């Protein structure tokens, strides 16, 4: 299937590893030029080196800093010649229940999830308006619709992200800027080591993940980043030209809602 991505220009936040890197690689394989960012310069340079055969730009960026977000998006647009696709993937887990989360935990989680999406869309909007096939894809979580006190901050803040996703789709649909959310469940990414270290420090990571999957996922396993990046690439492409405001789960059946 030709997704119609050849020659498109994509910006991906949190692009140095995990889902973000795999999305960048997949979009590049479809012929899109890509710009990625993260906070870690060494990881970012290594990630950029794995993206072959297309124009690639990378810049160290903290998405909780509005000035750095604007600088990265504008530099990416200049390097790529514009922006057609924005993938808001940056995020990080702050595991804990209501009593254990501090104000600092809450503020950081809100900043890296909701406000990073707000800042990136705001910075990218002038460039997206010049595109003839503008796409915004927000990587969110099933916990936005499936409250779990063990992931209290994620449950609350990702719900706000879903409302942002829908409101953006409604406001900018008339300008043909399509905005969709990919809600992930349990997908193997580096952040799970942070969750394990806080919730079950005495368990090996593999055992910890297997127990979570057995309890929560009908398919009985964690997902792979490839199973997320494929959907993101589809939503970024021409075959998804009549989809906006959607929330699509990639979660192995996880999520007790309709």
Q: Report pLDDT for 92.
A: 81
pLDDT digits (tens, 9 = 90+) for 45-68: 999 999 988 999 999 999 999 999
Q: Report pLDDT for 23.
A: 98
Q: What's the 3-state SS for the chain?
A: CCCCCCCCEEEECCCCCHHHHHHHHHHHHCCCEEEEEECCHHHHHHHHCCCCCCCEEEEECCCCCHHHHHHHHHHHHHHHCCCCEEEECCCCCCCECCCCCCHHHHHHHHHHHHHHHHHHHHHHHHHHCCCCCEEEEEEEEHHHCCCCCCEHHHHHHHHHHHHHHHHHHHHHHHHCEEEEEEEECCECCCHHHHHHHHHCCCCCHHHHHHHHHHHHCCCCCCECHHHHHHHHHHHHCHHHCCCCCCEEEECCCCCCCC
pTM of the model: 0.96
pLDDT digits (tens, 9 = 90+) for 91-127: 887 888 999 999 999 999 999 999 999 999 999 999 9
For the chain, list residues with pLDDT below 50. none
User: Which domains, ranges and CATH numbers included, belong to the chain?
Assistant: 9-185+223-248 (3.40.50.720)
């Amino acid at each position: 299937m030709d997704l119609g991505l050849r020659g498109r220009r994509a910006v991906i936040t949190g692009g140095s590893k995990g889902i973000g890197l795999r999305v960048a690689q997949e979009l590049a394989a479809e012929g899109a030029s890509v710009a990625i960012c993260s906070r870690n310069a060494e990881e970012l340079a290594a990630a950029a080196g794995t993206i072959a055969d297309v124009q690639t730009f990378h810049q160290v960026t903290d998405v909780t800093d509005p000035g750095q977000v604007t600088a990265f998006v504008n530099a990416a647009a200049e390097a790529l010649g514009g922006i057609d696709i924005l993938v808001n993937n940056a995020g990080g887990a702050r595991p804990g229940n209501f009593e254990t989360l501090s104000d600092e935990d809450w503020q950081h989680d809100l900043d890296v999830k909701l406000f990073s999406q707000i800042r990136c869309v705001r910075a990218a909007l002038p460039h997206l308006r010049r595109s003839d096939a503008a796409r915004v894809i927000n990587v969110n979580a099933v916990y936005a619709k499936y409250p779990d006190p063990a992931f209290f901050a994620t449950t609350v803040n990702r719900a706000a992200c879903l409302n942002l996703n829908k409101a953006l789709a409604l406001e900018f649909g008339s300008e043909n800027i399509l905005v969709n959310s990919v809600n992930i469940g349990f997908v193997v990414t580096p952040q799970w080591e942070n969750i394990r270290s806080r919730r079950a420090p005495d368990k090996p990571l593999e055992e910890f993940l297997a127990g979570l999957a057995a309890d929560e996922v009908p398919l009985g396993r964690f997902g792979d980043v490839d199973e997320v990046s494929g959907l993101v690439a589809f939503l970024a492409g021409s075959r998804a030209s009549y989809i906006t405001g959607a929330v699509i789960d990639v979660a192995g059946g996880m999520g007790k809602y309709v």
